[in-house]
């Protein structure tokens, strides 16, 4: 977990620097254009579902449900709630400091705050990552299925943000790195 925390933190810092330097801006715009050209009504509905799954209400609901069940109340809920709280605060603070504009063309959903890092990507990586790492530490045979589940959900939520024109790809990548760093650090701290 220490290695994952360090690698994720390094990945986040690298994307933060790349954004500040504007090195990837043209490539990101080209990637966004290719997604826009390939939008379909069915795929758009699916992406709206996943972007809504990453909003505050579903995230809080899942966090509260973990406290509702005796099996997860002490083993999973506290670290998951901690990860959600920490990553939400960090994403909010970093957005205010970096002040990166969101894409301006072809948005299917409107957002008012800044783009980097994607809070949806960060929160989904932190929440599902913490759940997966905690279950994996309690049930070693569940490590692979939980890791696949966490990565898939976080991927779909993050990708939906780029598909819908709300974020640049590096906003989402930065969010995933931030969320993974928080999840691994919080899980490590709760395990010790």
- Give Cα separations from 152 to 30, 46, 50, 138, 189 (angstroms): 24, 14, 11, 21, 25
Which member of 154, 167, 175, 177 is catalytic?
167
Q: Does residue 114 have an active-site annotation?
A: no
Q: Is 120 a catalytic residue?
A: yes
Instruction: From the candidates 120, 181, 183, 185, give the one annotated as an active-site residue.
Output: 120
Residue 101's φ and ψ, nearest 5 degrees, are -70, 150
In Å, what is the CA distance from 77 to each residue of 2, 37, 53, 106, 189?
Answer: 21, 41, 19, 38, 14
Which are the catalytic amino acids?
Answer: 120, 167
């Amino acid at each position: 977990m220490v290695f994952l925390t360090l690698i994720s933190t390094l990945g986040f810092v690298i994307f933060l620097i790349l954004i500040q330097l504007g090195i990837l801006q043209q490539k990101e715009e080209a990637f966004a254009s290719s997604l826009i050209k390939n939008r379909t009504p069915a795929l758009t509905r699916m992406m709206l579902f996943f972007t809504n799954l990453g909003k505050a209400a579903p995230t809080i609901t899942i966090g509260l449900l973990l406290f509702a069940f005796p099996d997860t109340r002490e083993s999973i809920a506290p670290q998951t709630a901690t990860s959600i709280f920490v990553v939400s605060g960090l994403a909010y603070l970093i957005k205010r400091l970096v002040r990166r504009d969101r894409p301006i063309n072809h948005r299917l959903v409107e957002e008012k705050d800044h783009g980097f890092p994607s809070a949806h990507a960060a929160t989904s990586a932190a929440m599902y990552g913490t759940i997966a790492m905690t279950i994996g530490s309690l049930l070693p045979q569940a490590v692979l299925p939980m890791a696949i589940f966490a990565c898939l959900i976080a991927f779909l939520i993050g990708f939906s943000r780029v598909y819908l024109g709300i974020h640049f790809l590096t906003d989402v990548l930065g969010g995933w790195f931030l969320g993974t760093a928080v999840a691994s650090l919080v899980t490590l701290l709760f395990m010790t």
